[in-house]
Structure 1
Amino acid sequence: MEFNPGNHIVQLCMQGMEMEEKDKPEEASSLFLQAWNEATNDFEKFIAAYYVARHQKTASEKLKWLETALQLALAINNDLVSGAFPNLYLNISKCYEELNDPDNAKRNYELSISSAGKLSDKGPFYHGTRADLQVGDLLIPGNRSNYQPEIIMNHIYFTANANGAGLAAALAKGEGKERVYIVEPTGAFENDPNVTDKKFPGNPTRSYRTQAPLKIVGETTDWTKLTPEQIQQWREKLANNKGAIIN
């Protein structure tokens, strides 16, 4: 199972988020409920339940949907959902606080703390670029951002999603061939805070960053290339993104 931005349920949730940004909560809530009703597997239901939860009017109803999302995430129990646990437990804790249940609030708050920073992803990992590199080469931080070139990046970024690396390659600066390298982190790494819990719960794109070098161990061609039209759409979307990079 891999996160796919073209998935029907993901698309419905993205439409719902657009309605939220336009301050149209009723339309957003309707789209999230539609996503829940049309979801066909646990991962789709997990995403939909997470968004349905935040449109509930009472703490008890919000808690019901958050616990539904949590149970689905626990059933999935893989790297697609593991990054969502800290925020899920924290929001559940806040609901219990509103419901004057300090014991359950404390228990879930402690679960939020204990689940934070626990990365179990074993890869394989990928890095997308237009640079012509060789097996054994090291990728290091200190390059300019592909998205905001005035920023010198303090980390090097990678993902366990080959198509995500392919997108990064397509958007990379330069005229070279789009390449997706198989890489190994040489030190500790963390969830990419620029995507984790920003749009979708947790880190479903399995995107990470490190200050240690990444070692190139191979190259893959097994990823879906975007059309020129799709690349242009992504460039326009990034150009309109006013958010600051967490560096």
Structure 2
Amino acid sequence: MENQPTASGPEDPGPFYHGTKADLKPGELLKPGYTSNFGTGKKANHIYFTATLDAATWGAELGVGEGRGRIYQVEPTGPFEDDPNLTDQRFPGNPTRSYRTRDPLRVVDEVLDWQPHSPEVLQHMLNHLEELKRQGIEAID
């Protein structure tokens, strides 16, 4: 089966983070199969997470939904793999330490002391995403 996570997953020990606008509590599970926070909002086959606060910050800032961005420390409940949307296409070697899984992520705690990107950096990213959209490029599979 192509694109299936391996049984052992990457060797990254974490901690792991997930950025979103959702208001979650410790112990809740984030699961794939719901509308994606990015792109056209189609059903997500994976749930995405990272081992860097910077990458999680993008999720908190760019995710759809009402309310403020939030970052949660999470733990995978099953195997995971490098996020091919980033590692194969943009950042060989996975320096963003970005991953995806078909299994739930368990919320451990909310990270309260993260710093947002500057307004200029955020606007640059928004412009870049708008250009990708104009070109018909979908960031999330």
Where on the TM-score scale, by shorter chain, does this alignment land: which range?
0.7 to 0.9
- Unaligned 5+ segments in structure 2 are 1-7
How many residues are paired up? 131
Deviations, residues 80-110 of structure 1 (Å, cap 9, x unaligned): xxxxxxxxxxxxxxxxxxxxxxxxxxxxxxx
Does 1:232 pair with 2:123? yes
Question: Is the counterpart of residue 186 in structure 1 residue 93 in structure 2?
Answer: no
Check conservation: 2:19, 2:59, Cα contact below 8 A: yes
Letter in 2 for 1:140: K
- Runs (4 or more) in structure 1 with deviation over 6 Å come to none
**Which 5+ residue runs of structure 1 have no aligned equivalent?**
1-116
For 1:36-185, what aligned pairs fall within 5 Å after superposition?
Answer: 119-185=10-76
Task: Indicate the structure with greater helix content.
Answer: 1
C-alpha change, 1:174 and 1:246, in structure 2 (3 Å) is closer
If asked which structure has higher relative contact order (CA below 8 Å, sep 6+), I would say: 2
Q: Give how far 1:230 is off.
A: 2.5
- State the AA in 2 paired with 1:224: Q
Q: CA deviation at 1:118?
A: 5.9
TM-score normalized by structure 2? 0.84
What's the Cα RMSD here? 1.8
8 Å CA contact retained: 1:193, 1:246:
no
Give the TM-score normalised by the residue count of structure 1: 0.50
Tell me which amino acid in the other structure corresponds to 1:235. Answer: L
User: Which of the two has higher C-alpha Rg?
Assistant: 1
Q: 1:211 aligns with which of 89, 97, 102?
A: 102
Contact 1:125–1:182 under 8 Å retained in 2: yes
Q: Which amino acid aligns with 1:207?
A: S
Counting aligned pairs with the same residue, the percent is: 51
